[in-house]
Amino acid sequence: QKEVEQNSGPLSVPEGAIASLNCTYSDRVSQSFFWYRQYSGKSPELIMSIYSNGDKEDGRFTAQLNKASQYVSLLIRDSQPSDSATYLCAVNSRGAQKLVFGQGTRLTINP
Amino acid sequence: GAVVSQHPSRVICKSGTSVKIECRSLDFQATTMFWYRQFPKQSLMLMATSNEGSKATYEQGVEKDKFLINHASLTLSTLTVTSAHPEDSSFYICSAREGGHEQYFGPGTRLTVT
């Protein structure tokens, strides 16, 4: 079992709809969770971090964390074609310096 | 805030030569820096973790004598690819963190070895 798992996609969503990206992790002591966006040929960009159970909203983005289910998700409301990218889920365990990344989900927003 | 730069953005070198890539945190002091490599259509692969003033910690399978990492100050880390070969051609990306867990990535360096 991979430490951090994401559906590789591609996930296609019509413009204006809600895109839902999911991630599960295996290490129960994980305590920090991140979503990065990576455009083709570019480096990852941090878009959300979440540390406690529940929802965290930032503009059109909402991160959701459920530690009991070892599940973290990212919702993108009012999806735009510029949201088309690969979204990486990353997890950090207590005491660890490095992040463990999922394989990424490729999202395409169709005009 | 949290800006990380890399230099050069693109480099072409001949097989057998060495290439140095710089990573700088511009507006914060980076206690830890990370070096990643990414091949086309593949995920990020962590190569090593470096703390200022300490030897880097390399991931399993990464040759420390080939990929030399120096983290001389809280704002600068360098990666030197020694005796580069065509199979070392890749997208090299650094990231830095200040004290929390967020990592901020540089724009990456595309290395082509001919």
Residue A46, beta-bridge partner list? A36
- Does A10 score more than 80 pLDDT? yes
Mean pLDDT of the A64-79 span: 97
* Residue contact B46–A92, C-beta within 8 A: no
pLDDT at A96: 79
| Cα-based angle B10, B15, B16 (whole degrees, multiple of 5) | 115
pLDDT in tens, A31-68: 899 999 999 999 999 999 999 999 999 999 999 999 99
The edge-to-edge listing of strands for the beta sheet with B67-73 is B4-7, B19-25, B76-81, B67-73
E strand map for A4-76: 4-6, 11-14, 19-25, 30-38, 45-50, 54-58, 61-66, 71-76
Give the closest residue to A6 by CA, choosing from A27, A35, A29, A43: A35
Which of B101, B105, B110 best tests the A interface by mutation, with the highest count of A CBs <10 A?
A: B101
Give B14 to chain A, closest Cα distance, Å. Answer: 23
Task: State CA A95 to chain mean position distance.
Answer: 22
pLDDT at B1: 66
- Which chain A residues are Cβ-neighbours of B104 within 8 angstroms? 46
- Does A94 score more than 80 pLDDT? no
What are the φ and ψ backbone dihedral angles of A81, each rounded to 5 degrees? -55, -30
**How many angstroms separate the Cα of A96 from the Cα of each of A6, A22, B46?**
21, 23, 14
pLDDT at A1: 66
Which of A4, A23, A97, A106 best tests the B interface by mutation, with the highest count of B CBs <10 A?
A: A97
The stretches in chain B having pLDDT less than 70 are 1
* Residue contact B102–A34, C-beta within 8 A: yes
The 3-state DSSP class for residue B24 equals strand
Count CA within 13 A, CB hemisphere, residue A11. 22
* Residue contact A44–B34, C-beta within 8 A: no
Size of interface A-B (CB pairs under 8 A): 40
* Residue contact B102–A98, C-beta within 8 A: no
